[in-house]
Structures are given as C-alpha cells and as structure tokens.
C-alpha cells in the first residue's frame, strides 16, 4: 500500500509541476485571473505532495523514549496540513482573486510569442487542454490504485474506512483539480464569446469554492485519524472471535483498538479467565494470544491483555 501511494504521489507531483508552469505562463501572457488561480492551485498541490512524502518518511521513524509507540501518526498530521493548505493557499486565494476580477473586469490581453501575436483565448484554451490531459493522467493513476484498494465497498465507504490518508488525499486533490480546470475552461471561453470579462472572475470564485469544499472534506476525514480511530470493524470482530476461541477464556470483556499509523494497530483486550489456571498456564495463554493476534493481522503490532473478572469490568465500565 505504501509503495502504491508513493507512486500516485509522484505521478501527481510531476503532473502538477508541469501544469503550474504552463498556467503561470498563460496567466502572465493573457492576464487571466482564472489561469492565475489555477496556477497557484497547482503550486499548492505540488507542495502538498512533497508534504505527504515527508510525512510518509517521518512516519517510518522507529520508536524512542519520547515516542514509545512510534511516529506513525506523522502521516495523519501532514495530511491535515495538506487539507489546510488547500483551503488557504488554493481556495481562499482563488476566491479573493476572483472577486477582484469581478469588481475590476478587463478582457484578456493578446499574447506576444516570438514576434507573433495570438489571441489570449487560444493561449489559455491550449494550456488548459494540456493541463486537463496531464491532470487526467494523474487522476487515472490515483483512481486505479484507489479502486484496487476499496474492494466491494462504495467509494465513500472506502474513504471513511481507510486508515491511510495519502491515497484518498491525492485522489481528492486530482478530482478537485479536474473540476477546477473545467470551470476555468468554461470561464475563459464564455468570457471571450460573451464579451463579459467578469465571467473569468466568477470562474476563479467557482474554483475557490470547489477547493474549499474539498479541503473541508479532507479535514474532517483526517481529523478522526489524527486524534485516534479504532481499527476496522471487521478487524475488531476477527480479534474477538480469536480471543473467544482460546481455551481458558471464560468471557471477553472488551476489545479496544487504535490506529497509531496506517499499518500500526494497538490492541487492548480485557478477558475473564478460568480461576483454576496456574500462573504458568496464564502466561502461556497470554503468549499464545499475543502471537496469534499478530499472525492473524500483520497490522497488529502491539497487544496488551488485561485480566479481570466480568463483574469487575462491568463495575469499572459503569463508573
């Protein structure tokens, strides 16, 4: 999964670098606000992909005395920062520039390239066409990998159940980028055909609203991961079944899980054990459970087993 996510990130970063350069050239030559907003959006997206790569690298740092459970949540922090950058660096900027263009509309200037004069509309359309093709390739790579991961789940359910924010963040960015490019294309074309330069500004506002909406969605999804989410219900159910099947376990009081990273699950199990077990048998049972849980799911990296009677657990839970 990490390798696949990295591939999607590199594809997105490469596409966004090329797109940003093209958009800024077009914006500089024609004065299009929508093109400028899209250029800033692409720069923000490129920076976001760098941040995700940094987060993935830092998440692999081994545990130490200051962080005994490791640094897995680093990727959640960086994913949240990415969402914040989309909101501020892309969405708010695009809305601001769009409002300014609506207040002070002016037609796109002609572009002067190597002594030739070209209508600004055709320069923008050509650049947006290239951007749509490049962004479409990046979106296809991310979608193909996301589709392989989601299995039989719907796309929204897969995103909500996913504990790895890198891939769905890239997919969300690419989706927002494609929508923004189509809005920008509609804006510059309509502004030219209808001779209403303010439509270019409205396109920029539309792009900003798309980015703000996508950023809020990503913030909500990464917030839960950042503060600690339980493992997938199917994983919890499998843990419960395995514990209940262990001889000597009278009752499974509780299973608590938490993702410390996309592939790092902490498990705390409370069980009521038979009173006639010797200390050696208790130790053997705990060892077997620890080994079995980790073998059943490689993402389970830490297992804590708490032994208490069913009655005592009920009292503590009610307190």
Nearest alpha carbon to residue 42 among 60, 27, 56, 24: 24
Confidence at residue 52, expressed as pLDDT on a 0 to 100 scale = 87
Compute the mean pLDDT over every residue in the chain, rounded to the nearest whole number.
84
Confidence at residue 255, expressed as pLDDT on a 0 to 100 scale = 95
pLDDT in tens, 253-264: 999 999 999 889
Least confident among 100-109, 122-131, 208-217, 299-308: 100-109
Confidence at residue 18, expressed as pLDDT on a 0 to 100 scale = 82
Listed in sequence order, the residues at least 6 apart from 83 whose beta carbon sits closer than 8 Å to its beta carbon are 169, 215, 216, 218, 219, 222
Confidence at residue 123, expressed as pLDDT on a 0 to 100 scale = 78
Listed in sequence order, the residues at least 6 apart from 304 whose beta carbon sits closer than 8 Å to its beta carbon are 266, 267, 268, 269
Confidence at residue 302, expressed as pLDDT on a 0 to 100 scale = 93
Confidence at residue 3, expressed as pLDDT on a 0 to 100 scale = 45
The fraction of the chain above a pLDDT of 70, given in percent, is 92
Confidence at residue 242, expressed as pLDDT on a 0 to 100 scale = 94
Task: Show the beta-strand stretches assigned E in the chain.
Answer: 111-113, 116-118, 249-261, 264-273, 300-307
Contact of 79 with 217, CB cutoff 8 Å = no
- Domains of the chain and any CATH numbers: 2-227 (1.20.1510.10), 233-318 (3.30.70.1350)
Confidence at residue 264, expressed as pLDDT on a 0 to 100 scale = 92
- Give residue 1's pLDDT band: very low, low, confident or very high (50, 70, 90): very low
pLDDT at 295 over 90: yes
Separation CA 32–CA 248 (nearest Å): 73
Least confident among 161-170, 172-181, 196-205, 293-302: 161-170
- Give residue 2's pLDDT band: very low, low, confident or very high (50, 70, 90): very low
Nearest alpha carbon to residue 124 among 26, 190, 263, 198: 26
How is 64-122 classified by DSSP, letter by letter? -SS-TT-STTHHHHHHHHHHHHIIIIIIIHHHHHHHHHHHS--PPPPEEETTEEE-HHH
Confidence at residue 172, expressed as pLDDT on a 0 to 100 scale = 85
Higher pLDDT, 3 or 109: 109
Separation CA 39–CA 30 (nearest Å): 13
Which tokens in the block code for residue 108? 């796109």
Average pLDDT, integer, range 239-255: 93
pLDDT at 111 over 70: no
pLDDT at 206 over 60: yes
Contact of 270 with 313, CB cutoff 8 Å = yes
* Residue in this structure with the two tokens 């069980």, named with its chain if needed: 271
Q: 39-48, 56-65, 263-272 — which one is most confidently predicted on average? A: 263-272
């Amino acid at each position: 999964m990490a390798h696949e996510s990295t591939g999607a990130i590199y594809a997105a970063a490469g596409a966004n670098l090329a797109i940003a350069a093209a958009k800024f050239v077009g914006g500089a030559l024609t004065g299009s606000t929508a093109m400028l907003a899209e250029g800033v959006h692409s720069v923000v997206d490129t920076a976001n992909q760098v941040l995700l790569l940094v987060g993935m690298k830092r998440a692999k740092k081994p545990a130490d005395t200051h962080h005994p459970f490791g640094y897995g949540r680093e990727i959640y922090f960086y994913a949240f920062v990415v969402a914040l950058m989309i909101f501020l660096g892309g969405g708010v900027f695009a809305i601001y520039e769009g409002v300014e263009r609506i207040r002070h509309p002016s037609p796109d200037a002609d572009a002067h390239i190597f002594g030739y004069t070209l209508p600004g509309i055709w320069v923008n359309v050509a650049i947006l066409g290239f951007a749509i093709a490049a962004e479409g390739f990046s979106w296809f790579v991310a979608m193909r990998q996301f589709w392989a991961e989601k299995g039989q789940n719907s796309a929204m359910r897969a995103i909500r159940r996913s504990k790895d924010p890198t891939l769905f963040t890239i997919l969300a960015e690419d989706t927002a980028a494609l929508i923004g490019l189509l809005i920008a294309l509609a804006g510059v074309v309509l502004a030219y055909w209808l001779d209403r330069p303010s439509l270019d500004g409205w396109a920029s506002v539309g792009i900003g609203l798309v980015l703000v909406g996508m950023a809020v969605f990503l913030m909500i999804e990464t917030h839960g991961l950042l503060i600690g989410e339980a493992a997938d219900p199917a994983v919890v159910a499998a843990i419960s079944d395995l514990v209940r099947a262990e001889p000597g376990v009278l009752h499974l009081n509780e299973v608590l899980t938490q993702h410390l990273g996309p592939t790092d699950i902490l498990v705390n199990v409370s069980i009521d054990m038979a009173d006639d077990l010797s200390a050696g048998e208790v130790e053997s049972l705990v060892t077997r459970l620890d080994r079995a849980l980790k073998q059943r799911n490689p993402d389970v990296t830490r297992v804590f087993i708490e032994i208490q009677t069913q009655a005592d657990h009920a009292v503590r839970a009610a307190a």
